[in-house]
């Protein structure tokens, strides 16, 4: 059975798309002004803002907000806001710098994914933090729809799958074409018939000879989760619970078995891997530097930022070793000394948080994107927040939806 599935997607019929589409819920988690500005802009118009749970609000009125999300989903369905499309959706995301990032919105089989072990055609790329799943499960378990921000990466160095179809984009119906709010750039979407990209196109990447050439063994990997690891894990946990009450025949077609994702080629020139920095609170600079130095050594330099200024400490030259060591230290300190850790994308924001909030910022190294698949195959998962696909404003916006209930 193929990993990529042909499952209908939902799009609004007549909504103001600039107000409909909003950034992934796990972005701008320290910038309440972003979300207040977005709420003001959207107003009472139909919007995915009413269908998601921005993580900046996870500490307040959780049950009430989840109930409102489920009610909005049911209301949008009953009001006939959506149209159902039997196709993939090719996305052309024009980034603020003018580059175009190409993706394919499609459904994938959750039976091919297991976040707890390195098997299956879909592999996690970072450690899953179990305590982050219950609230996500609570959001999803009674929701009739999913609006995921999951980005799956494929290792198509010859650019044989998405790129040839993109060259023919004008042959297909344009579904949307609009500016994304909050400086997110521009996006177009095209209806790609299922038969335009047969499942065999993806399956070709699973050729044992090709896998041996790329990874030194027949690894059986097709996709790596580039963004939304915890959303993918949540979908899997929910499906594993649902299928317990289904017959074997029902399991084959139940909509919760298939997760809606956006597929990107890791070799897309506009796909950026950027570091996710850390800001630490609740520990003195001297104590933190002393502790972190126990985990790091080498010929590289890791930059720290505090209210007193910048300092550098030795670290490995290999990005993955530094990332693993830093996260190991932080998790130990969080356990022993109850420090607080925030994850920040922009260098400037790290410096502002450190200066204004008495924190200690860690400017993390870049993890090379062309190393990702080999690392996942031969070494396993990276620690959480090892890399980010682009800056916050270039993250995936919610546009398409899919039913997950019968």
Rounded to two decimals, the pTM is 0.93
Which CATH architecture is the domain 276-365 placed in? 2-Layer Sandwich (3.30)
> Using an 8 Å Cβ cutoff, are 243 and 405 in contact?
no
Among the residue ranges 88-97, 126-135, 219-228, the one predicted with the least confidence is: 126-135
pLDDT in tens, 155-198: 999 999 999 999 999 999 999 999 999 999 999 999 999 999 98
Mean local confidence (pLDDT), 30-57? 96
* 60-113 pLDDT per residue, tens: 899 999 999 999 999 999 999 999 999 999 999 999 899 999 999 999 999 999
- The answer to whether 220 touches 121, Cβ cutoff 8 Å, is yes
Mean pLDDT of 41-69: 96
Above 80 in pLDDT, residue 118? no
User: Which residues belong to CATH 3.30.1760.10 in the chain?
Assistant: 276-365
Selection from 223, 319, 318 nearest residue 276 by Cα: 319
Cα 352 to Cα 306, 308, 312, distances in angstroms: 10, 12, 18
């Amino acid at each position: 059975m193929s990993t990529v599935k042909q499952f209908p997607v939902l799009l609004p019929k007549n909504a103001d798309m600039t107000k409909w589409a909003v950034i992934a819920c796990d972005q701008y988690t320290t910038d309440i002004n972003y979300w207040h500005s977005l709420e003001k802009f959207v107003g009472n118009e139909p919007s995915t803002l009413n269908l998601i749970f921005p993580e900046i609000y996870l500490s307040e009125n959780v049950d009430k907000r989840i109930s409102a999300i489920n009610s909005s989903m049911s209301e949008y369905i009953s009001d006939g806001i959506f149209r159902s499309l039997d196709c993939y959706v090719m996305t052309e995301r024009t980034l603020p710098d003018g580059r175009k990032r190409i993706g394919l919105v499609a459904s994938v089989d959750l039976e091919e994914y297991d976040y707890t072990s390195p098997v299956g055609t879909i592999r996690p790329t970072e450690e899953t933090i179990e305590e982050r799943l219950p609230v996500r499960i609570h959001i999803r378990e009674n929701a009739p729809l999913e609006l995921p921000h999951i980005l799956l990466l494929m290792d198509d160095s010859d650019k044989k799958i998405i790129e040839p179809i993109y060259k023919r984009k004008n042959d297909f119906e344009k579904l949307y074409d609009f500016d994304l709010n909050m400086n997110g750039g521009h996006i177009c979407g095209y209806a790609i018939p299922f038969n335009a990209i047969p499942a065999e196109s993806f399956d070709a990447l699973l050729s044992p000879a090709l896998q041996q050439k790329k990874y030194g063994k027949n690894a059986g990997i097709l996709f790596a989760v580039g963004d939304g690891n915890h959303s993918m894990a949540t979908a899997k946990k929910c499906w594993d619970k649902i299928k317990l009450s289904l017959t074997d025949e029902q399991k084959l077609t139940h909509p919760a078995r298939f997760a809606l994702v956006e597929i990107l080629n890791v070799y897309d020139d506009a796909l950026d891997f950027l570091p996710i920095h850390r800001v630490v609170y609740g520990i003195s600079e001297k104590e933190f530097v002393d502790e972190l130095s126990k985990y790091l050594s080498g010929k590289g330099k890791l930059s720290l930022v505090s209210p007193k200024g910048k300092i550098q400490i030795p670290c490995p030259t290999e990005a993955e070793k530094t990332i693993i060591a830093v996260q190991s230290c932080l998790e130990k300190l969080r356990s022993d000394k109850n420090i607080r850790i925030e994850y920040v994308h922009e260098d400037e924001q790290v410096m502002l948080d450190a200066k204004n909030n008495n924190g200690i910022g860690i400017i993390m190294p870049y993890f090379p994107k062309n190393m990702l698949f080999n690392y996942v195959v031969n070494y396993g998962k990276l620690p959480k927040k090892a890399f980010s696909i682009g800056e916050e404003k270039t993250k995936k916006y919610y546009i398409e939806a899919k039913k997950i209930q019968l």
